[in-house]
Amino acid sequence: MSILDSMIEFNQRFVEEKKYEQYQTTKFPDKKLVILTCMDTRLTHLLPNALNVKNGDAKIIKNAGAVISHPFGSIMRSILVALYELKADEVCIIGHHGCGMAGLKSSSIIDKVTERGIEKETLETLRFAGVDIENWLTGFDKVEDNVAHSVDMVRNHPLIPEDTPVHGLVICPETGKLDVVVNGYKE
């Protein structure tokens, strides 16, 4: 059975047996938190459990590396929506050790792209159109620096209220241990 079929089959039972009841909450985060973190599979359950973030407690935004690459991109927009429309009051940026974005070189992805049959001309066309593919597909050197940079981006964003705490944290994907990089109350 394919992954999709098995998900759909499971889902039918889930709904029929009303297993959703235990998850019912509202769209407003009870802890008034918005968290940006990484899509790493190890963090799916570990991160909320290690932080005592229950279902309904926080808006959780995820991408590769918990990176905010543009002040007017979709991540920053999601943070603004959480703060202004969904009653969040504080922002947590949570990177993690052993992140796939740490040390990622664009050449690694570009090699695989061409191996999978994307024509080199396509890449050239994108570069000619002004897309900085190399920069866009490059990760970061040090997780703490990336977290601090993302905190700065939010902290200094023209649409973020001055009294909004923005915290920077790094979590261990094995133990769940959290280290504070930036304490948003002290900034």
Q: Which residues bind Zn ion (CB under 5 A)?
A: 38, 40, 99
Q: State which residue, 63 or 164, has the beta carbon closest to Zn ion.
A: 63
Q: State which residue, 43 or 83, has the beta carbon closest to Zn ion.
A: 43
The distance of closest approach from Cβ of residue 187 to Zn ion in the complex, given in angstroms and rounded to an integer, is 24
The distance of closest approach from Cβ of residue 46 to Zn ion in the complex, given in angstroms and rounded to an integer, is 12
The distance of closest approach from Cβ of residue 97 to Zn ion in the complex, given in angstroms and rounded to an integer, is 9
The distance of closest approach from Cβ of residue 148 to Zn ion in the complex, given in angstroms and rounded to an integer, is 16
94, 121 in Cβ contact below 8 A?
no
Closest by Cα among 185, 1, 177 to 94: 177
Q: State which residue, 56 or 173, has the beta carbon closest to Zn ion.
A: 173
Q: State which residue, 32 or 42, has the beta carbon closest to Zn ion.
A: 42
The distance of closest approach from Cβ of residue 65 to Zn ion in the complex, given in angstroms and rounded to an integer, is 5
Q: State which residue, 90 or 146, has the beta carbon closest to Zn ion.
A: 146
